[in-house]
Amino acid sequence: MTIRLGFQIPNFSYGTDVSELFPTVIAQAREAEAAGFDAVFVMDHFYQLPMLGSPDQPMLEAYTALGALATATERVQLGTLVTGNTYRNPTLLAKIITTLDVVSGGRAILGIGTGWFELEHDQLGFEFGTFTDRFNRLDEALQIILPMIKGERPTFEGKWYRASEAMAEPRFRDHIPLLIGGSGEKKTIPLAARHFDHLNIIAGFDQLPAKMDAVRRSCEEIGRDPATLETTMLLTALVGQDVTADQIPADLSQRLVAGSPEAIAEQIKTKVLDAGVGGVTMNIPGYTPGVITEVGAALRAVLDA
């Protein structure tokens, strides 16, 4: 698994008829693939997030969409950023991700986290609980999911989940890359060090050096080479020659880059890569054909330098 350049699709409001919605998603995924992006991600939500729009704005179910994208692409890795553990029984999620891996010819990524959007839980009938509850549920779920995707048949009895010789067949490969998103230094980063291939850091630019120090500490405490835990930062890019960094609202300035593709690439180099993070996963509001290609070329030049 290598993800140095990821593309996230968090918004399906394109100002088009519903019949044109998914063709627009396919166009973005194909353009990202052709532009050299390593992975394409969708969010695992059922409602649009409050920072992006109203709950009733278009939102596709993640794994149905990824299964369709698997048939529309050839090389790019596919996953969620990230799966809400609370939304699916872990045995079902193991079956879903192994199926996606088969359908895509070995391109699935299992991104997973605790789940956090309370409105979805309340309105759709998922148990929310406290953060500690959700973290403990994730810990139990991993004890079922990880063996299953390796071809083992776990038996488990916990507070939240149980399984008896659970299996997931067919499987395309014995290891599906594991990704977790977040930046908590007490729980998330140590969990990433123990189980995951990739940590997508959800933090501001000014926090990145400290987060990378926490990654190194957590890995070294368990005897893991920190270089074996890939890292990216999630950010938003406002692309345009007429957009300048000083136009970014203060509350967004730590997770957003703006300007020409070359200016964006330079900002990412100085703010992200120079802080020790291995790469970026970005979203670009709206969709204008050609923009993903231009940004991808500029970023590849920086990443490959």
Q: What is the pLDDT of residue 1?
A: 62
What architecture is domain 5-181? Alpha-Beta Barrel (3.20)
CA distance 288 to 55: 24
Strand pairing class (230-239; 198-201):
parallel
What are the tens digits of pLDDT across the range 24-63? Answer: 999 999 999 999 999 999 999 999 999 889 999 999 999 9
Q: Nearest 5 degrees, angle CA 204-CA 208-CA 211?
A: 115
pLDDT for 244 beyond 90: no
Closest CA to 285 of 8, 4, 68, 46: 8
Mean pLDDT of 197-223: 96
Q: Answer whether residue 245 shows pLDDT above 80.
A: no
Query: What is the predicted pLDDT for the residue at 2?
Result: 86
What pLDDT was estimated at residue 227?
94
pLDDT digit string, tens, across residues 215-227: 999 999 999 999 9
pLDDT band at 253; cut points 50, 70, 90: confident
Task: Tell me: pLDDT of 251 over 80.
Answer: no
For the question of whether the overall pTM of this predicted structure is more than 0.85, the answer is yes
Mean pLDDT, the chain, integer? 94
pLDDT in tens, 73-89: 999 999 999 999 999 99
What confidence score (pLDDT) does residue 249 get?
Answer: 67
Residue entry with tokens 């490969």: 173
Q: Would you kindly state where each structural domain of the chain is located, as residue ranges?
A: 5-181
Which backbone phi and psi does 121 adopt, to 5 degrees? -60, -45
Q: pLDDT-based confidence at 16, cuts 50/70/90?
A: confident
Answer yes or no: is pLDDT of 282 > 80. Answer: yes
pLDDT tens digits along 158-191? 999 999 999 999 999 999 999 999 888 999 999 9
Please report the pLDDT score of residue 155 as a whole number.
98
